[in-house]
Amino acid sequence: MTAVYPGSFDPTTLGHLDIITRASAFADKLVVAVLNNSAKSALFTAEERVAHVKEVTSGIKNVSVESFEGLLVDFVKKQGAHCVIRGLRAVTDFEYEFQMALTNRSMKTDLETLFIPTSTQYLYLSSNIVREIARFGGNIDNMVPPQIKKYVIEKYK
Ligand code: ADP
């Protein structure tokens, strides 16, 4: 089974890496899909974000990384996949994720969204939180892989 794990990954966090590791353990092939949204200003370019995910997942054989624009369902079709992976943190994720899952399925009826609950230590971890803390020089050691920490600090210099 090929699964697609979409997100912004701006930057990649340990929460993302946890979901990737767990999903790649049951999917035959996991495609991490980095959203290139021209309407949203990101800290890192899509190319940088793809390179970052590639770097931190280089040890996982069945993971590949690509960027996509436009509708997720179109990207999923192009991959010949029928499964989307999403991580779930606190209840606040639920409403949005449920809406997206149902909407995507209405556009592609053979699509299933699988939710993986966060590991407890990453419950309150988001890319947004990482950016906020890093912007003010706070410690992000427990939030991102060491390579990513370097890139984030470099960006805010
Ligand atoms: P963020 O919300 O951190 O900006 P993305 O938009 O890149 O992250 O999210 C991509 C996917 O990863 C979403 O399904 C999101 O719920 C999931 N995710 C992000 N952070 C975590 C985490 N700490 N634990 C579990 N899932 C997460």
**86 inside domain:** yes
* Ligand 1 pocket, residue 131 CB under 6 Å: no
**114 inside domain:** yes
**70 inside domain:** yes
**140 inside domain:** no
How many separate domains does the chain show? 1
Give pTM, 2 decimals.
0.96
Q: Which residues are annotated as catalytic?
A: 16, 40, 89, 127
CATH of the domain at 37: 3.40.50.620
Span 80-101, mean pLDDT?
Answer: 94
**147 inside domain:** no
CA–centroid distance, 108 to ligand 1, in Å, is: 23
What's the pLDDT tens digit per position in 39-57?
Answer: 778 999 999 999 999 999 9
> Residue 155's pLDDT is what?
94
> Residue 90's pLDDT is what?
83
> Residue 157's pLDDT is what?
84
Angstrom distance (rounded) from CA 70 to CA 49? 17
**136 inside domain:** no
Sequence-separated (6 or more) residues with CB below 8 Å from residue 126: 13, 15, 89
Domain span at 43: 2-125
